[in-house]
Amino acid sequence: MPRALLASFASRLDYPDLRWMPDEGFSIGRIRIELLSGLTVALALVPEAVAFAFVAGVHPLVGLYAAFLVGLITALIGGRPGMISGATGALAVVMVALVAQHGVEYLFATVVLMGILQVIAGVMQWGKFIRLVPHPVMLGFVNGLAIVIFLAQMGQFKVPGTMENTGHGMSGGEWLSGTPLYMMLGLVALTMAIIWVMPRITRVIPAPLAGIAVVAGLVIAMGLDVPRVGDLASIKGGLPSFHIPMVPLNWETFEIILPYAVILAAIGLIESLLTLNLVGEMTGKRGGASQECIAQGAANVVTGFFGGMGGCAMIGQSMINVKSGGRTRVAGIAAALFLLLFILVGSPLIEQIPLAALVGVMFMVVIGTFAWNSFKIMRKVPLMDAFVIVLVTVVTVMEDLAVAVVVGVIVSALAYAWNNAKRIHAETRESHTEEGAKVYEINGPLFFGSADGFGELFTVSEDPDTVIVDFANSRVVDQSALQAIEAVALKYEEAGKKIMLRHLTRDCHQLLTKAGHLMVDSDDDPDYALAVDYSVRTGVLGGH
């Protein structure tokens, strides 16, 4: 395929960044930063993948394979260099019911179907709808996410081996106490202190990696008895192998896996696209939503055929990568390959890393992720925006990220519709061109929310025989608006009076004239060709 044709195809699918080279070009220093950042991410991925596998009720290797495969494929072809993907808790809590009722083979089949649905979403360019997420929702999402990441680390403060899978995830367990608790807290604090101080000393080594290395070396050298990665589960295994899900290929199977696949696909895309926006704000990049949908879908299809639990973007690990200096696809690829090395040959060493070091890294992610300025913002923005920030934060913590975003968007949309519905009003005056005619100058958008208020603006019985309705300062948005205009016209017709509409697009003229009630000024807007072309092309009735 010619290069120009490939570039055109990529641009139409919203593929803005397939480059491997950073803006400043690759150098030995840049490669070192990318590789060390990938190593830091890989170390943080291990306990997360194992924990989420436990939540879903599957073997730890199912989570580790998903982290490797999803992370590698999305790093190669994803929409935003610097993003990290893998097994996530948001998906695991949905998977647990499926695994408990039907077994892990149905999970693999569901992950494949989930990936297919995500690829379809990418090809259809549905990812662009993430632009409809308002900023207050993003703030609430980020704050809720920070709290979720913090609460997820609380499980590391329980005695290893005492938690049980109840079919709804891991729960219960005995809390650490006495000396073990104090040692755990001390090591967490030491890790956080190293991460905070390290950038002030040198940036040669990413601060999170330095924190993990120093604390792990101290624990191993002193033989401290503290919880380690190996206490969660053994991560030793082989290469993932191709495996066709062993489920009956019939309609009954499809009915079982489809609802789960739809939910998982939606949650995965929402979390991935929000991560894409968040990383984009930090790195100054834009676009790539459709590309990310396709990458996530392809990754999940492959993962389902190689015994993985599927996944999506991981905001916590993406923050670790970006703040460690990872800006290109190399960091994500390195993280996936390092994770595979841990599984194949490095498990004895990785299993000795204290959980406290990884908890300290995640606590610093929490501090960096939480939008602390939102407390100041909420005192300055409209009350409804402040309410949305708090609502999304609470729902994120109580339910999950996807539900919180949907709730936030719905509430924001309803608030916007209500505010615009209250804006409709009219100013009246005598006409300068039609003797004895009364002019209603409509202000504000006319749509389903303001349709009733529009009808209340007119005093049909008191008006003269000729009435002019001027929409120069209004917008006719939808079918409800047209119906409201026609209803007003019918009232004037029944009263034996003439109504004329001005400053509407030509398509609105045509539709309203077809109703048979209106006499309109067909030549009062001679320069509306562009607006008419747009409204006809999109099928949306709108104002000028």
Tens-place pLDDT, residues 211-227: 999 999 999 999 998 98
pLDDT, residue 473, reads 87
Both tokens of 73, joined, read 């494929």
Whether the per-residue pLDDT at 493 is higher than 80: the answer is yes
Cα 375 to Cα 275, 309, 371, 415, distances in angstroms: 22, 38, 8, 21
Kindly give the residue spans of alpha helices, DSSP state H, lying in 79-222. 89-102, 104-123, 135-152, 178-201, 207-222
> What three-state secondary structure class fits 320?
helix
pLDDT, residue 175, reads 86
Written as one letter, the residue type at 290 is S
Q: Which helix (H) or strand (E) holds 483?
A: helix 479-494
Give the pLDDT mean for 506-535: 48
Residue 89 inside a domain? The answer is yes
Indicate whether 239 and 117 sit together in one domain. yes
Residue 415 inside a domain? The answer is no
Rounded Cα gap, residues 468 and 455, in angstroms = 15
pTM of the full structure? 0.74
Both tokens of 135, joined, read 């900023």
Mean pLDDT of the chain: 83
DSSP letters for 130-154: GGGS-HHHHHHHHHHHHHHHHHHGG
% helix, strand, coil for the chain, step of 5: 65, 10, 30
pLDDT, residue 338, reads 96
- Residue indicated by tokens 């395929």: 1
Indicate whether 442 and 297 sit together in one domain. no
Indicate whether 340 and 429 sit together in one domain. no
Can you name the residues that pair with 498 across neighbouring β-strands? 466
Find the domain containing 232 and state its range.
27-158+225-350+373-377
Rounded Cα gap, residues 184 and 176, in angstroms = 9
Indicate whether 447 and 334 sit together in one domain. no
Give the pLDDT mean for 534-542: 34
Q: What percent of the chain has pLDDT over 70?
A: 85
Written as one letter, the residue type at 380 is K
- Going by C-beta distance under 8 Å and a sequence separation of 6 or more, which residues neighbour residue 300? 70, 111, 112, 114, 115, 118, 268, 310, 311
Closest alpha carbon to 60 in 165, 193, 192, 215:
165
pLDDT, residue 63, reads 92
Q: Which helix (H) or strand (E) holds 361?
A: helix 355-369
pLDDT, residue 138, reads 85
Rounded Cα gap, residues 367 and 320, in angstroms = 12
Indicate whether 340 and 431 sit together in one domain. no
Residue 512 inside a domain? The answer is yes
Q: Is the dihedral of CA 279, 285, 289, 294 positive or negative?
A: negative
Whether the per-residue pLDDT at 343 is higher than 50: the answer is yes
Residue 518 inside a domain? The answer is yes
pLDDT, residue 509, reads 66
Indicate whether 337 and 440 sit together in one domain. no
Give the range with max mean pLDDT: 53-67, 127-141, 507-521: 53-67
Indicate whether 130 and 238 sit together in one domain. yes
Indicate whether 448 and 337 sit together in one domain. no
pLDDT, residue 53, reads 87
Indicate whether 534 and 431 sit together in one domain. yes
Burial of 204 (0-12, 13-18, 19+ CB in 10 A): exposed
DSSP, res 462? G
pLDDT, residue 405, reads 86
Query: Do 405 and 270 meet the contact criterion of CB atoms below 8 Å apart?
Result: yes
For 294, phi then psi, to 5°, come to: -65, -40
CATH number for the domain spanning 512: value is: 3.30.750.24
Indicate whether 319 and 230 sit together in one domain. yes
Q: pLDDT grade, residue 20 (50/70/90)?
A: low
Q: What percent of the chain has pLDDT over 90?
A: 37
pLDDT, residue 403, reads 84
Lowest-pLDDT choice from 449-453, 454-458, 528-532 = 528-532
Report pLDDT digits (tens) over 62-101. Answer: 999 999 999 999 999 998 888 999 998 778 878 988 999 9
Residue 166 inside a domain? The answer is no
What region, left, alpha or beta, does residue 430 occupy, with left being phi > 0 and alpha being psi -120 to 50 degrees? Answer: beta
Rounded Cα gap, residues 41 and 47, in angstroms = 11
Rounded Cα gap, residues 312 and 78, in angstroms = 11
Residue 288 inside a domain? The answer is yes
pLDDT, residue 329, reads 92
Give the pLDDT mean for 112-137: 90
Report pLDDT digits (tens) over 429-454. Answer: 888 777 889 999 999 888 888 988 99
For 263, phi then psi, to 5°, come to: -65, -45
Indicate whether 137 and 242 sit together in one domain. yes
Whether the per-residue pLDDT at 364 is higher than 80: the answer is yes
Cα 372 to Cα 31, 314, 364, 416, distances in angstroms: 33, 21, 14, 26
Rounded Cα gap, residues 374 and 389, in angstroms = 8
Residue 190 inside a domain? The answer is no
Written as one letter, the residue type at 157 is F
Cα 97 to Cα 66, 91, 92, 276, distances in angstroms: 19, 11, 9, 29
Q: pLDDT grade, residue 134 (50/70/90)?
A: confident
Q: Which helix (H) or strand (E) holds 293?
A: helix 289-305
Report pLDDT digits (tens) over 254-299. Answer: 999 999 999 899 889 988 988 888 888 777 777 788 999 999 999 9
Q: pLDDT grade, residue 24 (50/70/90)?
A: low
Indicate whether 115 and 253 sit together in one domain. yes
Give the pLDDT mean for 393-414: 87
Whether the per-residue pLDDT at 500 is higher than 70: the answer is yes
**Total number of domains constituting the chain:** 2
Residue 500 inside a domain? The answer is yes
